[in-house]
């Protein structure tokens, strides 16, 4: 990539953000609203949250819950998806259950989570696990099923054992679709943690949003928390994108 292309990739997002800020400021001034904050008021809100010492602890609490629930979903979902993708009979047996539970919104499980775990971290982690588990299982299963037959024949021609063929052929070929599923699941997990924290716990960025709304309708703090939520979500997406560009998996994206 040339230096000009790098400059343009950086310039246009900055221009877009600047235009949004200008339009936002103009809309607040022209409407003379006393409810929705201006960009400057949100900056002041950020400073207030930082001074109160809640911004980093609340962000850390949300990230911890996502890491715990998402990590549990990874640990169980990837092996389950690999097994179901490789064993079609097992997939045929499990698929009706997966398709029954997968469309249920994780937020619909909030009453169940509170009954099982109370108002605690465990309730939120449980919801994040449910939100992440099914996308990971389905993406992994489809990734294994979608391995081109020519790859499998090549493994057979090289006289690879079933275990070696699975490890050296199926896993690398399925990895791109698995990573796409992981990125989607991570985005869903981040959405769910914010919503769950508004109900099931008393800390985190979701709790900060609802608490700021209830405590004197501090919409400057609400919008500040929303921007932080979006920024962290963007960073998480960029992190997974960088993993997708690693040399060990890049070939799979070209052949997928």
- The ranges assigned to domains in the chain are 1-33, 36-255
- Residue 248's pLDDT is what? 62
- pLDDT (tens digit, 9 = 90+) per residue, 41-100? 999 999 999 999 888 899 999 999 999 999 999 999 999 999 999 888 998 999 899 999
Please say if the pLDDT value at position 252 is more than 60. Answer: no
Confidence of residue 254 (pLDDT cuts 50, 70, 90): very low
Mean pLDDT (whole number) for 181-202: 88
Which fold is adopted by the domain 36-255? MetI-like fold (1.10.3720)
**Which long-range CB contacts under 8 A does 161-169 form with residues at least 24 apart?**
166/86
The per-residue pLDDT for 255 is: 44
CB proximity list for 190: less than 8 A, separation 6 or greater? 66, 229, 232, 233, 236
């Amino acid at each position: 990539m040339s230096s000009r292309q790098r400059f343009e990739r950086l310039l246009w997002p900055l221009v877009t953000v600047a235009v949004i800020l200008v339009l936002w400021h103009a809309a607040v001034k022209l409407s003379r609203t006393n409810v929705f904050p201006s960009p400057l008021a949100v900056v002041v809100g950020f400073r207030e949250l930082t001074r109160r010492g809640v911004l980093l602890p609340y962000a850390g609490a949300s990230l911890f819950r996502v890491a715990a629930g998402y990590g549990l979903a990874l640990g169980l979902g990837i092996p389950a998806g690999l097994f179901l993708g490789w064993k079609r009979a097992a997939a045929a047996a499990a698929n009706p259950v997966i398709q029954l539970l997968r469309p249920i919104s994780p937020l619909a499980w909030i009453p169940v989570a509170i009954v099982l775990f109370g108002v605690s971290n465990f309730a939120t982690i449980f919801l994040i696990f449910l939100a992440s588990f099914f996308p990971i299982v389905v993406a992994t299963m489809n990734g294994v099923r979608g391995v081109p037959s020519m790859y499998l024949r090549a493994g057979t021609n090289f006289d690879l054992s079933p275990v070696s063929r699975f490890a050296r052929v199926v896993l690398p070929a399925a990895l791109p679709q698995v990573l796409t599923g992981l990125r989607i699941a991570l985005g869903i997990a981040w959405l769910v943690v914010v919503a769950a924290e508004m109900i099931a716990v008393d800390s985190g960025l979701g709790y900060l949003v609802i608490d700021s709304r209830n405590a004197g309708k501090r919409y400057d703090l609400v919008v500040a928390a929303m921007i932080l939520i979006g920024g962290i979500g963007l960073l998480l997406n960029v992190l997974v994108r960088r993993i997708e560009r690693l040399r060990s998996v890049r070939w799979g994206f070209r052949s997928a």
